[in-house]
Amino acid sequence: MPNWQPVEAVAAAFRGAGFVDVTVTDLTPQVKLSAEQILAAASNRLLLMKLDAAVGHPESALFEGHVHGAIACSKGLLNGAITYGFVAARRPPR
């Protein structure tokens, strides 16, 4: 996902905008089970889509793209290529 920024880049942007108490939390371990479930469901859906297409009922390219995206993101989370993070910051008093 080329437009996603690393959490440290987001944190730096907050600091650069004057926010304070910027914290970064890596939630990747907590979303691993969800990524595994999404990967399984999307992989199953992709198989069904291939079977449907083989009998003349293809799915829309837009929907198929979302299924491939779900598979890619899930694999990325599971193999460490993508991290799932949370960035919190506080605006200082004016």
Give the whole-angstrom CA distance, residue 8 versus residue 32. Answer: 21
Domain assignment present for residue 40? The answer is: yes
User: Do the Cβ atoms of 70 and 38 come closer than 8 Å?
Assistant: yes
Q: Which domain holds residue 41?
A: 7-90
Low-confidence ranges of the chain (pLDDT < 70): 1-2
As given in the structure block, the two tokens for residue 35 are 């990524």
Structural domains in the chain (count)? 1
Domain assignment present for residue 80? The answer is: yes
Predicted local distance difference test score (pLDDT) of residue 5? 86
Domain assignment present for residue 70? The answer is: yes
Predicted local distance difference test score (pLDDT) of residue 29? 95
Whole-prediction pTM: 0.77
User: Half-sphere exposure (CA, 13 Å, Cβ side) for 27?
Assistant: 11
Domain assignment present for residue 35? The answer is: yes
